[in-house]
Every structure is written in C-alpha cells, then in structure tokens.
Amino acid sequence: MSQGDQAFRKHDPKGRWAEMTYGGALSFLRRPYSRDLANVDVAVWGVPFDSAVTYRPGCRLGPRAIRAASVQLAELKAFPFGFDPFDHLAVVDWGDVMLDPHHPETVAPMIEAQAAGIIASGAKSLALGGDHFIAWPLLKAHAAAHGPLALIQFDAHGDLWPDDPDRIDHGTMMGRAIAEGIVDPAASTQIGIRTYHDSDMGLEILSAPWIHRNGVEAALDVAVARAGARPVYVSFDIDVLDPAFAPGTGTPVPGGLASWQALEILRGLASLDLVGLDVVEVSPPFDVSEITAIAGATVAHDWLCLLAERKGAARRPVGRL
C-alpha cells in the first residue's frame, strides 16, 4: 500500500498521498525529506535559532511546531484557491540547518550559506524560524542572487532600532539591511506595525490601526505598487497578528491584525515576483492549542499557493469569496 509516511517514503517532490492527520512521520505539509534539489521548485527548511530575542525565548522550537501544525493543510485542496499546489510545484522539506549556538559568530554565515546553496540550485527558499534576526542573512543571500530586494514585512515591529555591525538582535536587522543596500526601501512596505521608530528609513509603513481603518485592499494597493516588477522577499513575523490570534510569540503587542486580514493581504500578492519567504517568531512554549503554529503554517502554505499560480494553477473558488 503506497500511502502514509510520505515524509520519508515518497521520492517525487510533486503530488501527494493520503495521510492520517493524526499519525505518520511529520514534515512540512508531508513533503518528502530530501537534500537533492534537482528540479525542485521550493525547499522548505528550518532555522532553529532564538539567541537574538529581547523578551521571551522559545522560537528555536518554531520549525518543529510549524511542521506539526501543517497536517490539516496537507489533507485537502487549498482554500480559497481550489487546487492542490503540489500538482504544480515540486517541494521538499530539506530539514533544519545545523547551527552551533556555542559559536554565535558562526550562525549568520551558516544561515546565509545554506540559503545561498538553495538559491543556486534553482529552488526558492522557504525558511521557518527561529527569531527574526535570521531574516538578515536570508536577505543577504537573496540580494546576492537578485540584487536589491523589495521587502514586504509583516510585523508588529519595524526592526529599525540603532544597530552596529557586530550586533545579533532581532530588532535592528531591517535597518541594517537597508543601510547595506540589500533592501531597497523605496520599493518596500511594512505591514501591521504598532511600535514606534524615530525614522522610517524610506519605507512605507502601514500601521495596524491604518489597516483597520482603511482595509485590506488599500494595503494591497500600496504594497503591490511599490514593489512593482522588483524581486520581492516576504518576511512574516507572526507577531503581526494580535496576541488573540498568535499568543505563542516572544514580543506580543496588542492591537494587531486578525488572521484573516494578514492572510487576505498575503493572498493578494500573486502578481509579484516572489523570490523568498521566512515565517518567524513562532514560540511554542507560549502557544495555546497550536493557534500560533497553525497560523504560521497557513502563511507558508498560502505563499506556496501563490507560487503555484505563477506556475499555471488557476483559482477555482467555490461559493462567495
């Protein structure tokens, strides 16, 4: 019987088998584990690092939790898309990058090298964090391949606080990326921000209250127009969601987006040249009934669906959307 445990039994990175949601070997969306990236469209990989947090730790366990929370998303055709993304995309779970927490100066180079290897293979990188500091080496690797990036950052925090070159901090790396020319601020947008910074550094900042007042479509109009034809990197900090929708995170801030708002904005990015994604700051020790991990898994799943659309998948919605 060729069903079940496809994480290690299935060798084709496209398609999928039937699987018990409550059993079987876990991988992200039940994708086969593989480090062979020949003819692979997307490599999903974990970055279990949280030594840069400034409040509550635990997101080093995020990749494991997001994989476990993805089981139901691997069961049915995607909502609201109405297709199976793996009819169109070859996706593998690469596993987790090996990091040495006892030599913190090696962490960023190891992450950057791993991302660069995935990109060089022709696959896109979908990284599961880990704290938000990991976005800096990920952005470096993507910019080396694509040039300065348009960044769409979902976050409660702009991560633009004062920095220095030796700092390992999940609140300064976006400012560093702009200063280093990795991110083009004129093409970039931050979504859901609700903490204060002295400067926007040239970014368009759509605060959570602004989105509550003006709506999803207005946010999309801004983000899509600014990105234009640039290569777009999406960095999704789960604390963009209100703590009611994402309690399992390190620096929760009230007044955030609802899950539906963030997902609707993400689902509206299909026209853009999406080159990479990270989903970060899922901290399972503070989660409740997998609420946060399920949200993170859904973000990653829906980004894959956007890529499937670029490969020819057509939305087939049922009912009023």
Annotated binding site for Mn(2+): 132, 155, 157, 159, 237, 239
Binding site residue list: 132, 155, 157, 159, 237, 239
Return the HEC string of the chain.
CCCCCHHHHCCCCCCCCCCCCCCCCCCHHHCCECCCCCCCCEEEEEECCCCCCCCCCCHHHHHHHHHHHCCHHHCCCCCCCCCCHHHCCCEEEEEECCCCCCCHHHHHHHHHHHHHHHHHCCCEEEEEECCHHHHHHHHHHHHHHHCCEEEEEECCCCCCCCCCCCCCCCCCHHHHHHHCCCECHHHCEEEEECCCCCCCCCCEEEEHHHHHHHCHHHHHHHHHHHHCCCEEEEEEEHHHECCCCCCCCCCCCCCCECHHHHHHHHHCCCCCEEEEEEEECCCHHHCCCCHHHHHHHHHHHHHHHHHHHHCCCCCCCCCCC
Asked if the bond preceding 276 is cis, omega within 30° of 0, the reply is: no
Strand order in the sheet with 204-207: 91-96, 42-47, 124-129, 273-280, 231-237, 150-154, 189-193, 204-207
Distance separating alpha carbons of residues 69 and 6, to the nearest angstrom: 16
Distance separating alpha carbons of residues 210 and 191, to the nearest angstrom: 10
Residue whose structure tokens are 């026209």: 271
Answer whether 8's CB lies under 8 Å from 25's CB: yes
